[in-house]
Each structure stands twice: as structure tokens, then as C-alpha cells.
Amino acid sequence: MTRPQAKSVTLTKVSKAVGLPSHPLSRRLRRFLKTVDAIHTATNLKQVAVEMNPLVRGAVFNAYTATGPYTIQLNPNGSHVELSLIHEVGHFLEWQAIPKSGFGQRSFKGDPLFAVWLQAVRESQNVNRLLDLRDAEAEESLVQKTANYLLDEQELWARSYSEYIAVKMLSPALLQQIAAENKVIMGNIQLKPYWNTADFHSVQSAIDAIFRTLSWSK
Ligand SMILES: [Zn+2]
């Protein structure tokens, strides 16, 4: 695969940082990303190139080296394209733009910026339920493995970021896709990766505070 060229320009708008390819979906996604700009800005954003890839499950964020270039592989046939894209934008922001990323190895525990968020996430019913599912069975099942993955701090960040954008934007597409993802059944169990409204409240406030501290708030 040819590596995309890193551009030295830095940006403050998510819609400008995310480069969409020539594809029938891109018009819709460009409009969608512009609405993210109305929720928050960012500092020192580099470019991330979206590549349509029908072989990935949902979407994947890639950093070719610690400092880029960056890509998001997005499956254009996925059932929740906007949600997948915004989830990977969450990974991109955490990795590239929020200070002290460790390039994918952030110590969320040791980072004061994330302290309130981490506490809110850990105290949420959603995460406690996932912990119960992870620890429920003696033998490792697909449900346990998936719960374990969902409990990874970077995944908690990207998932909470996507739900934050959905709630702030009141995006029908994102909210419907989140509701649909919460209905997915695996081994007779609804994993429910996303928080319900009341449970999300303190997580949402914590992300508000992170963006205020970073001066990313609108
Ligand atoms: Zn992820």
C-alpha cells in the first residue's frame, strides 16, 4: 500500500482535517462533519485521509508512524457509517491532537485531563454491566471477549466521544445508529455498548470539561 503523504499544515476544524475521497457517500459525510465543527474545535490538527474499504468491519483508524500519516478505513456499506466515522475521529483526536497521547499508549489513569472522565465512565451502570459480563463466565466466550474489548480505555473514549457528538448534535443518524447498536444480540445477550441518557450525563459533563480545558469548546 502507498502511504499517504503527511501534510505539515495544522487545522482547527474536524471537517477540514478529515479528508474524504471521491465517493458517492462523501457529500453526505462532509455535511455531517461540518456539524461536528459546531460542537467543538481542536488545536494543531493534522490531516487524516478517509479511504473507503468494504473489507473492514465498520471502520479502522491507522497511524503509519507515531506522528502520522493517518488514515481512517471506512466501510461504505456498513450499517452505521456516520457512527463508525465519528468513533474513528474520536481515536484520531485522542491519538493526534489531545496532548500526552503516547501515540496510542496514553496513560488515562495518570493523565489529570481525563481523571473526571475516567471516574464517570467507571462509575456508570453501562461499564459496570460490561464488567459483570466480562467476569461472568468461567470459560472465555465471545461475549466476554467483546466486553473486554469494549472496556479498553481507548475504546471507552472513542465510544463516549461518538455518543457525546450524537447527543450534542441531536443527530438523528447517530442517535438511531447508537440505538440499533444497543439492540445487537450476541449469545442471547444484549451487550449495549452505549450509555442510556441518564447514565451518560456525568460522562457528557466530563467531556465538556475536557474540551473546556483544551479550549476546544464552542
Ligand atoms: Zn475503536
Are residues 132 and 189 both part of a single domain? yes
Inform me whether the pLDDT recorded for 8 exceeds 90.
no
Are residues 74 and 24 both part of a single domain? yes
137-190 tens-digit pLDDT: 766 789 999 999 999 999 999 999 999 999 999 999 999 999 999 999 988 899
Instruction: Specify if 118 maps to a domain.
Output: yes
What is the model's pTM? 0.94
26-40 tens-digit pLDDT: 999 999 999 999 999
Range with lowest mean pLDDT among 87-91, 129-133, 184-188, 198-202: 184-188
Please report the beta strands in 27-159, taking only residues with DSSP state E, as ranges in sequence order: 48-52, 59-63, 70-74
Instruction: Specify if 105 maps to a domain.
Output: no
Are residues 23 and 74 both part of a single domain? yes
Are residues 124 and 192 both part of a single domain? yes
pLDDT score at 103: 85
Are residues 70 and 147 both part of a single domain? no
Q: Provide the grid cell at 3.
A: 502511504
Q: What letter does residue 94 receive in the DSSP assignment?
A: I
SS3 217: strand
Domain count across the chain: 2
Are residues 92 and 128 both part of a single domain? no
Beta-carbon neighbours within 5 Å of ion ligand 1: 155, 158
Q: Ligand 1 mean position to 7 CA, how many Å?
A: 24
SS3 95: helix
Q: Ligand 1 mean position to 200 CA, how many Å?
A: 18
Instruction: Specify if 80 maps to a domain.
Output: yes
Cell 471477549 sits at which residue? 145
| Contact between residue 85 and residue 25 where contact means Cβ atoms under 8 Å apart | no
> Residue 104: pLDDT band by 50, 70, 90 thresholds?
confident
> Whole domain around residue 52: which residue ranges?
14-96
Instruction: Specify if 104 maps to a domain.
Output: no
